[in-house]
Amino acid sequence: MGAIYEDFVSIGPGTLAGRFLRNFWQPVALSGSLVLKRSMPIRILGEDFTLYRGLSGAAHLVAPQCPHRGVSLALGRVIGNNIECLYHGWNFGPDGHCTAQPAEDSEFKKDVCIATYPVHEALGLIFAYLGRGDPPAFPVLDVFKEGRIENRASYRPWPFFAQIENSVDETHFNFVHRGTKFDEIGMNTQIPMLTCEKTAYGMRRLAMRGGAVREGYFFMPNWSLSSKYEHEEGWSDHVVWRVPIEDHAHISFTCEIFYQNSVEREAYDKAMQAKHIKRQSMGSALDLMKEIVAGKMHIDEVPTDHPDIILIQDGVVCSAQRFHKDRATEYLGASDRQVVMLRRLWGAELKSLNAGKNLTLWKVPHDLKTSRGI
């Protein structure tokens, strides 16, 4: 496998990885961030777009600029279900066709059109399909229907694939996350034995600690389902998409599925308020990461009760590693078998894409269940 098929980081529209990712639904924004009759700029996969919500309540994703003089459409006005350029009032419908040019002859607009993209809103997220042809079916998991969903979007200034590899690397808990909640719940008492298998959706992941098995799932190309523990919320199902903005930055779009009763929910809400106040007093996660990577402080100097300690620890190793395109110099062992399978899955798809062959039609079963493994 040549280095070209191992370049999972370059995600622009002309790259293999970028073309591959565009064949799938990708979250681009939180639903709550887009209010009625407003527009906003979006940058995903190295490209700019305009996202707006029309009077009907539906979200629309269109080209970033007006074709008249190149002004950002995200600065425009939402008129009904259309977007109107702020500069000269050129108006475009959800299908991209120009419907009005107030200062021009009525015939001038007939051949003017902007790009539009399919949008699907679900789980408190706005998804878009940026590829060619018809989009695939939107994957649905039973866990989405069984609990209360909370979602968030977290900007992370390191490659999306570094984050994905970190997520399937179960042994890093024992070293990167020493002295944290993972010690307290017993995940770090022994180094897990890892196995994995290729599936119709990507990879089934198993981590064995004694007689307990932690089971999670990686869905091609860039999302996953696993169990998660936090002091304030207990156990939840954790569904996350790692979506590139640029080659060296991404957004983690997360859906947490909680199974709390009303009393537990009230306690959780209070804990979240306290956590927010504490976060403000202890310094931002991104600032602390920069200090650590620059050698101005050591990671063990960050108090383990920092609300974002896990993010800080993961961010340091993800942003500081040598994430190059040709990984022939790496020494991978048994503890890396899930990372190896991940790379093989991706490499095979990029090789097929480069050769003009059909890509795998990944199928996500609806009834997958996670296990905690402790």
Distance (Å, rounded) from C-alpha 312 to C-alpha 292? 9
Q: Are residues 116 and 149 in the same domain?
A: no
Same domain, 207 and 339: yes
| Alpha-carbon span 49 to 72, nearest angstrom | 9
CA dist 162 and 130 (Å) reads 23
Domain, as residue range, for 296: 143-372
Residues 35 and 169 grouped into a single domain: no
So what's the pLDDT on residue 259? 85
Predicted pLDDT of residue 1: 42
Is 152 within the bounds of a domain?
Answer: yes
Dump pLDDT digits (tens) for 256-276. 998 888 888 888 888 889 888
Query: 325 and 367 share a domain?
Result: yes
Q: What was the pLDDT predicted at 25?
A: 98
- 179 and 84 share a domain? no
E-state strands within 179-279: 193-198, 202-209, 212-219, 223-230, 234-246, 249-258
46: in domain: yes
Same domain, 224 and 87: no
The domain tally of the chain equals 2
In a domain, 137, yes or no: no
What's the confidence (pLDDT) of residue 323? 66
Residue 6 included in any domain = no
Residue 176 sits in the same domain as residue 287: yes
Both 203 and 309 in one domain: the answer is yes
Q: What secondary structure letter does DSSP report for 217?
A: E
Residues 157 and 75 in one domain: no
Same domain, 174 and 89: no
Check residue 329 and give its pLDDT.
79
Q: Report the pLDDT value the prediction gives residue 19, as an integer from 0 to 100.
A: 97
CATH code for the domain in which residue 37 is found: 2.102.10.10
Share of the chain above pLDDT 70, in %: 98
What are residue 224's DSSP bridge partners? Answer: 218, 240
Query: In this structure, what CATH number is given to the domain that contains residue 291?
Result: 3.90.380.10
Q: What is the 8-class DSSP label of residue 321?
A: S
Last residue of a domain, one of 104, 129, 154: 129
What's the pLDDT score for residue 268? 85
Residue ranges in the chain modelled with pLDDT below 70: 1-4, 323-326
Enter the pTM of the model.
0.94
Q: Which of 129, 160, 181 is the last residue of a domain?
A: 129
Half-sphere exposure (CA, 13 Å, Cβ side) for 2? 6
Q: Looking at residue 325, what is its pLDDT?
A: 59
**CA-to-CA distance for 10 and 182, rounded, in angstroms?**
33
From 100, 129, 158, the end of a domain falls on: 129
- 170 and 299 inside one domain: yes
